Structure 1
Amino acid sequence: SHYSPTADAQAAIGRAGVVIEVMQDAGMITAEQAASVKPAKVKLAGDKAQDSVRYFTDWALPQLESLIDETEKPIDVWTTLDLGMQRAGTNAIKNGVPAGAQGALVTLDRDGAVRAMVGGTDYAKSNYNRAVTALRQPGSSWKLFVYLTAIEGGYRPEDKVEDKPVTIGGWTPKNSGGNFAGEITLRTAFSYSKNTVAAQLGEELGTSSISNMARRFGITTPISTGPAMVLGSSETRVIEMTRAFASVAARGRSVTPYAISKVTTIDGDVIYKHKPPKQVQLVEDYVAGAMTDLMQSAVAGGTGGAAQIGRPVAGKTGTTSSNKDGWFLGFSSGLTTGVWMGRDDARPVGNLQGGHAPARAWGNYMRIAVANRPVEHFATDVSFPERLEEDTAAEGEEEILVDENGMPIEGEPLPTVHSPDDAIEPEQVDDEFIDRALGRNRGQVDPGSVEDEPTPQ
């Protein structure tokens, strides 16, 4: 890329002269042939307005420094980029963004391979890579972490929640359209991106728990723990949000993006080969399955309807205040793609909503990206763990006393209560009871224990 005529024409001419000399020295061409070549007189083709592959190579090639040792031999670098997907992504962003806005797109395969990366509408005009560098508010796409936390905390898609006016710490969230639906299911709240429900979940679950969930799924940027964080007020990157959605698609297992699959010398010797990092189970299968179920509903009949592509899709829209940012992130047939649109100066963009231009661009791109892949149905038929309604022993089981390390203490077990009809009043847990349970006489002290003030006799 340093010697590209579009980057430095004089460097390209100079390098061409070096190559010709080496070809002559190697006996590949004669001195007469070398002398007949005049690199400075070569007419360059007009620069194409779109060269979006450079967004990817600008990001990928610097990674070589940490992957291989310096070598004098020429090398071949094999990357994960799929040129067909890159071309489709470029067209989707270039033709899909509102006037005056920018856009970005990232696609990850199921193993984390980056198949497409578009950092803007025109690399020749701006080489700023909005896919991996720009920090933007994710809006309601951040609700991925809110609902992951809720499901892990015991919520189920069909549980009832209430869409109603709420005020938390002086903050009063509003729904798009300003209306309230009353009692609805968690599925409906997610599908229609109800802000008031997300706010209530944040208050109940704790915003620090939601922040920890985002960290678990690969978000590295600073995260506010104020009540408004549930609506995506903390800035993040497109590639990190895409990675988080890809990890849900992987049934809750971590996905790590990578760009270089192998490096060989010009002789064919392999000096680097990508080794997949060990996957970490970020959430249980049932949590990821239920989350996928909610996201599938959001596309099938909710805010993400414009992203339908004729095969199973799971995803989430995102829109920030005053329409400054629009997002759609989702997955289908093993590919996870994130799309962002907005202005670099963060000014409002008329009618920019995640369910409009970003979702349409996502759909237009993904129809092409998955065309040669088999249709895959999501693993959403999951078994939830039994809810602990009461902290009582199962029938026929005996409750025992345990010490501070969880080890059983020999002594008299507590009576098991089977039903209200045969309930037995539990024995009073006083000093005498504890002495008998521990098998010690009054006045003795366990070895190694610290004695408190004497108990009055």
Structure 2
Amino acid sequence: MAKNSGRSRGPSGASTRSQARPLWRRIVRGVLIWGGALALLGAIFLGTAVFFTMRELPDYGSLKSSQNGQMIVVRARDGRELVSLGPSYGKWMSYGEIPPIMRDAIVSVEDRRFRSHPGVDVVGLARAVYVSFTTDSRAKATSTLTQQLARNIFLSNARSWTRKAREMVLALALERKFSKDQILELYLNKVYFGGGAYGIDAASRKFFGHPATELSTAEAAIIAGLVKAPSNYSPTADVEAAKGRGKVVLGLMAREGVISQSEADSVDFSDVKVAKEKGQNSVRYFTDWALPQLDMLLPENNEPIEVWTTLDLQAQDAATKAIDANVPAGAQGALVSLDRDGAVLAMVGGTDYVNSNYNRATSALRQPGSAWKLFVYLSALEAGYTPDDAVVDEPVTIQGWSPQNDGRNFAGQIDVRTAFAYSKNTIAAQLGNEVGFGTVASMAKRFGITTEINTKPAMVLGTSEVRVIDMTRAFAAVSSGGTSVEPYGIVKVTTTSGELLYEHKSVRGQVLVPHYVAAGITDLLQTAVAIGTGRAAQIGRPVAGKTGTTSSNKDGWFLGFSSGVTTGVWMGRDDAKRVGGLSGGHAPARAFADYMKVAVAKRPVEQFDTELKLPEWQLEPDDEQMQGNPEDYYYTDENGNLVRPDGAPDQQPYGEGQDGQGQYPGQGQGGQMPPDYGPQGAPPPAVGPDFLDRATGRRSEDPGLRPGQGAEPGTRATPAPRMTPMPRVTPTPRPTPTRAPGTQF
């Protein structure tokens, strides 16, 4: 019988092969099978969703007639209408009427694969996912033009995965139902370009004063660049930023081959003329600050609404007039006024909203000068000092820095109250050194300063940049007895039919310092106005406040409170250049007084929780108290710099802690502060959620502090032994000012 040498092909053989297959191959095979099945089910589900969505979409004519945007009526605290904001539409432009350069510009900057993708850019989405997995940054997949159109017409701007999924389904359905030309036509007639303008014709008329059919290449590039951030690149807000963004758009167009690089380089943006807006006033500074908060306060809502605000029209008018009447020529002014609960009564962000809608009250970062001493003395009072304690005004050097008083005079033994009233720099430096510069910085953070703080010794004279609204909030916290105050501008929001959508809830403030510390600093602030550097702020009733002047008269401040109203005033130039004669005790203090006389006129007179105990000594104040024209003589500014009649600092400066390169803390080349030209992506002024943690010391590290040569940021220094009181000395007579040639006193 022949021997069978062949392999078994029966069932047992099949089982043997299955058992011999490696485990990893079986896992891969299972993943492929189940993955393919799930992908097929997903595709079927997506196709079904797109199919039914496409059937439910309105026809093209209906989409053309629908309007975007929400009508908003903004009201003052007494119900009077401040402004009505809503969509502005120009003439509908067909695809053929839209200038080709406009079509090419928007596609190049917003969706360069518009003509090839099915509504969702799979390539861009895959790249975003890859970046999120390979880096620590979040995925940032740019929406296609079709997705943006779907969101603008059918959805809201709420950030959620559900909204994003619906947006993608709608975009795929739109691409199935309409042609690319129709989608682009809809997009360019409906997209929001800022300032209430929807569509390119409305934008062209608003920004350039002519219809979109007359758009030049430069103008088309500027409009195309607005979609990304209408408020940042608006020609009416910052024409240079708008032109810069337009040049970026031209560069993208050249990269995509729409125009040549030589054509892009030849476009002259100097020929662009921006149309001036009409019917704008200082109220818009307030509405521009308050209305963006609606995104956080309200759920998704597209119906017309009425926003009831805290703004007092009489106070706002008085604030505008006070700034206009007192601001030096060529300078800008800003004012913020808060009620005792944080309600914003008035806000002025500049001298002319039409020419510049940049809000200097909430966005500009400027040095506060001696107004910063609020935090130095708060720290000292909390460490155990009292207004009557003796201190010695004498030459002092701290880590190589020797601050100077005006006239280089020293009063010898005085009390804390006197030192504060006359803004003695040497005393502030000694107190800051005793309690620790990090402690002073932490106190400022505790009271609501949201910007970075330099902790080098010269910080006690206000070298760290701050916002007007933050400084005003700090003084309001003192007015409220040492409890935190959060500025707010919206009282309630209703529909036009009266349905309540939101209402502000008053929250009791966090206790920031003991009551006796607040009473002590109020004593000092009242003294500064009664007989010190802030005498121009007197209004015939108790006022507590502090002046501030920075080097070479670049900034002037006055901040104070009376009868429950706290107001902060700042003046200076946007480019941070010197303003002749500007000091906190002059124009800003006078503007404060002019405004406060109106703001508190109908309020009862309130006495402060302290007594005024200041001897009438013959003390000379610092530079903020000087009368006359500073250009008539040599003088020492508040930061200790000797200034000549031409305004230039002395060649051998002895002021704020120069280093070996002639630099000052926080300054740029040549010891000059960099100019403040407006917002550059700066964070919003509102206090973050971790404010109370930082304020109460529950966090050991404070990211807002920059390490310096003083005490460690975020820690409290143990006060050094008190200075031994010295016998009272006769103040050194003030030397006769050196007269500049050809001047008279």
User: Would you call these one fold, judging by a TM-score over 0.5?
Assistant: yes
Instruction: Verify: 1:170 aligned to 2:400, yes or no.
Output: yes
Task: Identify the match of residue 504 of structure 2 among 246, 257, 274.
Answer: 274
Residues of 2 paired with 1:275 and 1:2: CA distance?
25
Q: Deviations over 1:427-446 (max 9, x none)?
A: xxxxxxxxxxxxxxxxxxxx
Quote the residue 2:289 is aligned against. Answer: 59
Distance 1:288 1:228 in 2: 24
Deviations 1:378-404 (A, max 9, x none): 11269xxxxxxxxxxxxxxxxxxxxxx
5+ residue gaps in structure 1?
Answer: 16-39, 41-45, 383-457
Match 2:316 to one of 66, 78, 86: 86
Letter in 2 for 1:303: T
| Equivalent position to 1:351, from 559, 572, 581 | 581
1:252 & 1:9 partners in 2: Cα distance?
41
CA distance in 2, matches of 1:312, 1:372: 15
CA distance in 1, matches of 2:597, 2:603: 10
Cα distance, 1:261 vs. partner? 0.5
Say yes or no: does 1:224 pair with 2:454: yes
Matched, 1:147 2:224: no
Conserved? CA contact 1:60–1:259, under 8 Å: yes
Residue 363 of structure 2: aligned partner: 133
Q: How does 1:181-200 map to 2 (within 5 A)?
A: 181-200=411-430
Structure 1 CA distance for aligned equivalents of residues 91 and 521 of structure 2: 56
Separation in 2 of the partners of 1:146 and 1:164? Answer: 18
**RMSD after superposition:** 2.4
The aligned residue for residue 215 of structure 1 is 445
Q: CA deviation at 1:192?
A: 0.2
Give the conservation status (yes or no) of the 8 Å contact 2:482–2:515.
yes
Match of 1:369 among 599, 603, 609: 599
- Where does residue 403 of structure 1 map in the other structure? none
Superposition pairs of residues 393-408 of structure 1, within 5 angstroms: none
Aligned to 1:324: 554
Offset, 1:129: 0.3
- Is structure 2 residue 199 aligned with structure 1 residue 122? no
**1:182, distance to aligned residue in structure 2 (A):** 0.8
The answer for the alignment partner of 2:88 in structure 1 is 11
Aligned to 1:201: 431
The 8 Å contact of residues 3 and 11 in structure 1, kept in 2 or not, is answered as no
Kindly tell me: are residues 198 and 10 of structure 1, through their superposed partners in 2, closer, same or farther at Cα, counting changes over 3 Å? closer
1:263 aligns with 2:340: no
TM-score (normalised: structure 2): 0.46
Q: Which residue among 372, 386, 389 is the counterpart of 1:156?
A: 386
Report how far residue 74 of structure 1 moved.
Answer: 1.3
Matched, 1:304 2:539: no
For 2:565 and 2:90, locate their aligned partners in 1 and report how far apart those are by CA, in whole Å: 41
In structure 2, give the amino acid aligned to 1:11: S
Q: How far 1:303 moved relative to its partner?
A: 0.1
Aligned mates of 2:305, 2:537 — CA distance in 1: 41
1-side partners of 2:375 and 2:538: how far apart? 23
> Are 2:569 and 1:339 equivalent residues in the alignment?
yes
1:257-316 Cα offsets, whole Å, 9 max, x none, are 001000011111111000123310000111001100110000000000000000000000
Q: Please state whether the residue corresponding to 1:294 is helix, strand or coil.
A: helix
> 1:14 and 1:8 mapped to 2: Cα distance?
19
- Cα distance between partner residues in 1 of 2:539 and 2:91: 49
Larger radius of gyration: 2
Equivalent residue number for residue 110 of structure 1: 340
Query: Contact (CA 8 Å) 2:71, 2:305: kept in 1 or not?
Result: no
Which of 368, 375, 378 pairs up with 2:608? Answer: 378
- Tell me how far apart the structure 2 counterparts of residues 91 and 98 of structure 1 sit (CA, whole Å): 14
Deviation, structure 1 residue 139: 0.4
Take 1:93 and 1:370, find their aligned partners in 2: how far apart are those partners?
17
Alpha-carbon shift at residue 12 of structure 1 (Å): 6.3
What's the CA shift string for 1:128-153, capped at 9, x where partnerless? 10000000000000000000000010
Q: Identify the residue that residue 111 of structure 2 maps to in structure 1.
A: none
- Local SS of the residue matching 1:199: helix
Tell me the amino acid that sits aligned with residue 388 of structure 2: E
* Aligned mates of 1:325, 1:228 — CA distance in 2: 17
Amino acid paired to 1:154: G
AA in 2 matched with 1:150: A
Cα distance, 1:72 vs structure 2: 3.0
CA distance in 1, matches of 2:70, 2:306: 16
AA aligned to 2:567 is T
| Counterparts in 2 of 1:7 and 1:85: CA distance versus 1, 3 Å | closer
Cα separation, 1, equivalents of 2:530 and 2:89: 52
- The one-letter code of the counterpart of 1:238 is V
Structure 1 residues 310 and 14: alpha-carbon distance in aligned structure 2, compared to 1, 3 A threshold: farther
- Equivalents in 2 of 1:291, 1:14: separation in Å? 61
DSSP 3-state at the match of 1:228: helix
1:397 matched to which residue of 2?
none
Q: How far apart in 2 are the matches of 1:185 and 1:278?
A: 35
Task: Verify the 8 A CA contact 1:3 1:12 in the aligned structure 2.
Answer: no
**Counterpart residue type for residue 400 of structure 2:** G
CA distance in 1, matches of 2:561, 2:355: 30
AA paired with 1:90?
A: T
Structure 1, residues 32-88: CA drift from partner, whole Å, max 9, x if none?
Answer: xxxxxxxx9xxxxx9768600000000100100000012132111000000110010
Q: Which has the higher contact order (CA 8 A, sep 6+)?
A: 1
Say if 2:70 and 2:87, in contact at 8 Å, map to a contact too.
no
Answer yes or no: is the 8 Å Cα contact 1:49–1:122 preserved in 2: no
How far residue 3 of structure 1 moved from its aligned partner, in angstroms, is 9.1
- CA distance in 1 between counterparts of 2:406 and 2:280 reads 36
Q: Residue 177 of structure 1: SS of its match in structure 2?
A: helix
Are residues 333 and 14 of structure 1, via their aligned partners in 2, closer, same or farther at CA, if it must alter by over 3 Å? farther
With over 3 angstroms needed to count, the CA separation of the structure-2 counterparts of 1:182 and 1:12, relative to structure 1, is farther
Q: Tell me, which stretches of 5 or more residues in structure 2 are unaligned?
A: 1-68, 73-82, 93-204, 206-275, 613-745
Residue 240 (structure 1) aligned with residue 470 (structure 2): yes
* Cα displacement (A) at 1:13: 6.7
Given the superposition, is the C-alpha separation of residues 249 and 183 from structure 1 closer, same or farther in structure 2, using an over 3 Å criterion? same
Cα pair 1:107 1:116 within 8 Å, conserved: yes
Closer/same/farther in 2, CA of residues 9 and 285 from structure 1, 3 Å limit: closer
The answer to whether residue 519 in structure 2 is matched with residue 289 in structure 1 is yes
Checking the alignment, whether the CA contact within 8 Å between 1:51 and 1:122 is kept in structure 2 is yes
- 8 Å Cα contact 2:367/2:464 also seen in 1: yes
- 2:407 is paired with a residue whose SS is coil
Superposed displacement of residue 175, structure 1: 1.2
Note if contact 1:289-1:381 (Cα within 8 Å) is conserved in structure 2: no
Q: Is the 8 A contact 2:469 2:568 kept in 1?
A: yes
Q: C-alpha separation between the residues in 1 aligned to 2:309 and 2:85?
A: 24
Cα offsets for 1:112-169 (capped at 9, x unmatched): 0001000001101110100000000000000000000000100010111011111111
What do residues 311-333 of structure 1 show as CA deviations (whole Å, max 9, x unaligned)?
A: 00000000001110000000001
Please give the TM-score of this superposition, normalised by the length of structure 1: 0.74
- Kindly provide the amino acid, as one letter, of the partner of residue 335 in structure 1: V
Q: State the Cα distance separating 1:178 from its structure 2 match.
A: 2.3
| Segment of structure 1 superposing worse, 275-284 or 352-361 | 275-284
Q: Report Cα offsets for 1:85-116 as digits up to 9, x if no partner.
A: 00100011112111111010000000000010
Off by >4 Å, runs of 4+ in structure 1 = 1-4, 6-10, 12-15, 46-50
